[in-house]
Structure 1
Amino acid sequence: GWIRDGEWLLYTLDVQEAGRYTMTARAASPNSGRSATVSVNADPAYTHTLNLPNTGSFSRFTTVVVDDVTLPAGSVTLRLTFHGDGENLDWFAFAPSQPGPEPFEIPGTIQAEDYVPGGEGVGYHDTTPGNSGGAYRSDDVDIETAGGVTNVGWIRNGEWLHYTTTVANAGTYTMTARVASPNSGRTIAVLVDGAQAATIAVPNTGSFATFRTVQVPVTLSVGSHTLKLTFQGDGQNLDWIAFAVGGTTPPTPEPSAGASFVAVPATAPHGSAVKFTVTPAAGKAIRSAWWSFDAPAHLNTWNSRAVNPTFYYPARGTFSPLVKLTYTDGSSETVQRAGYVTAT
């Protein structure tokens, strides 16, 4: 604590394997605009920035993440140089990076909570520290699961979420959003590759738990695009967005709450194989799956896209695996079993 601008700390790391790593740090500060430069072996090619958000006080810590930190093998000198007075650092850790979810296909459905990894200023902008809903992810976006619906809530004016997409065919699409708000005059700006493509008018639905679907036309070109949703006005919830060709209305993906999975064995020595097998909801067929073998602690580092994967837990502990299923009818479902797997 009591950190001043320009101060630095030096560490020696023993990196077993060269590659890309995710750096996680626990930090606190009542100030905005603070950061730390992460320098490896004083080499500009191995320099990254750790953004330290305003958490409201020196004792209120939050977890910040830097993706794709490249580390060489062997003995590594790591230096943290702080920019700005007044920030506290508790710890930092490294885990091998895993690819995040594939870009979302359009036409198709995107769950609000599936914004890209990378943390504040990359996958999202959030003005309050911590996840107020405590569901699904461990960053500062506020996510809740209530009544079988996982949604982004506690939204403040100016906050945004970022997604990557791939568009199969150029043309005009109907964009549908599932929203809730007890307030009037709220909107969501839809930006494609940085340019505003549409504005979603969020109606007063009477409560944060009463959701309605609203639609706007959006013209998209073929290929890969970034999609950014910028919220205007406090107090609105977003469940999902969907895109359908032309004037057709996409089906409303309702949570089926019918999928399940098992791990065999559910208790095993760490480093040994644990086989996961998923059963879809009745009448559903799985198009794709995305696993986190411990959420939210290792949400974006212990992953697989196999439908029925095998994982080797690298450490002792009790873990909470999660699978997000996308069905062939366009609906999706998230299933998690808290404290389900124990590695001894």
Structure 2
Amino acid sequence: MTAEGTGYSLRDIRLTTAGNSAAALPKRIQAEQADESSGVLIEDGAAGTVPGSWLDYRVSVPEDGAYLLTYRYRTRGGDSAADASWKLDGGGAVQQDSLAASDEWTTLTSAIPLSKGEHTLRLSVGGTNVSLDWIEIGPRIVRKDNPPLIPVPGTASALDYAAMSGPSEGAGGAADGHKLTGIKAGDWIDYKLDVPEAGSYTFTLEMSSQAGGMGAFDLKLGDAVLASYDVPQIYGNWVKSRKTAALPQGEITLRLAANVEGFEIGALAIEPLHLFAADAGGILNIEAESYFDSGRNAIETNKAAGTANVGYTNAGNLLRYRVDVPQDGNYKATYRYATKQGGVSAALFADGELKGTAALPSTGDWGAYKTVSHIVSLKAGVQEIGVLDQGDGFNIDWIRLEPTSEENRPALSRAAVPSASLKAGKYDSPQELLLASATDGATVYYTLDGSLPAPDNGIAANGPIAVSGTAVIRAAAFKDGLPGSFTAAFTYVTGKSQPSATPSATPSATPSTTPSATPSATPSATPSATPTLGRHTGRLRRQRHLHRRPLPERTSRPPFLCLIPHRE
């Protein structure tokens, strides 16, 4: 060892065995584990570079193609960006990227063309000082030479993608017999769509998973996230979920980006935002599974019977519908539902205003459907009707709004359902929240294990609550002399997920926020009042029991959340 210059402090010299094999792609490589390097210092487990530094990595490429290339880095030169250049086997540059200035750890994803075989990749860094944590190469990007252009409205089969990274093609499971499988966080699928006019469109995604996940998938247009799918634990069943977002007119590339592993994907159907209209008798018949947006639930389909229902709901889940109420007046709101739980109710909202609440007593089984009604007062015109799940969940088949001369009977007063100061959803860092009830003098209790909160089963929410990781909070309010409130549920996921690459084609138009003015189809026929047992026979019925497992099974899972009362 020969030193040049002065001022060095030598702590130790470490010798390790050099690897004899190339890194098989796809692979995440710790940046400091380069086979050869120049001008690089290892600092706190990262490779510190200066302009002119280079690092060599030996890789084994399984097949020709473009591969995702992701860096985790931070710059150390103020506002100056860094340049990253890749050379293959001593030749010219095959990929060049600009690493935007960032004093915090961040990621950048691009793509690099590689041929099959073993190669030496040289990364040269310029522009400013950079710390590199890791570099991930792969998976391979699959692009179709002549991808199908999906007309809207229409349905994209799993195999109708224009490009994808990560998933594999498969057969079985999905309705049309095709699926994309092996999906991991960071994977994505691109579809080419032909949108006839700007407006709001509803996307129905067919999927399967054992565990589900909050924010499992994002719908993206360019860098903009249009909507996110929250998926409950569905025990390997094939289900559907719906989201609505604005699209511009013309040919666009829509990306489905995965944030959670363990999913399989079937078809993606796109249709204009639906408007429910009354029949000749002034009755509004709403199929529950035709919501345009909602929280975490799943649409279950019985293909043999040709029926569907919304299931896997939880307290706090809101089903949203666009309806055209024919006239001012009172309406009998009827729900066809099934639940094994007690203490469940449904609250009906019109444009965000609470119109009434109906208790949904246990029907004895998830496939034993019954109807219940209450009277609500509605204004004429196009509006959003919302049905809020209050309690521990129910299956719902349909909702009917029928004009009536009956008067609304006041419901028994009870403590107000708790609200949270922090909106449920995904956040990049740990958060704090407060739980409170609008009922003066009421105390809010919450649980973390899926059980129903009560004064003798739960934690009193007397101050700020710190949320870190994944947390599902169930809360209810109690006051002497009043029945306890219905249960509210709030789910939070904190921590950054692995970003996906930028879509291969970025549309230039900005999505319109104006809903489509014309409904896409007439409402479905009046739903049958007779329970449809075929919907829950066989596998679906058995999985129903898994959906609502006894509490000891729920609490036996490995811990996956951290929820700690905050103390000053």
TM-score, scaled relative to structure 1: 0.49
| Structure number with larger C-alpha Rg | 2
TM-score, scaled relative to structure 2: 0.32
Higher relative contact order (CA 8 A, sep 6+): 1
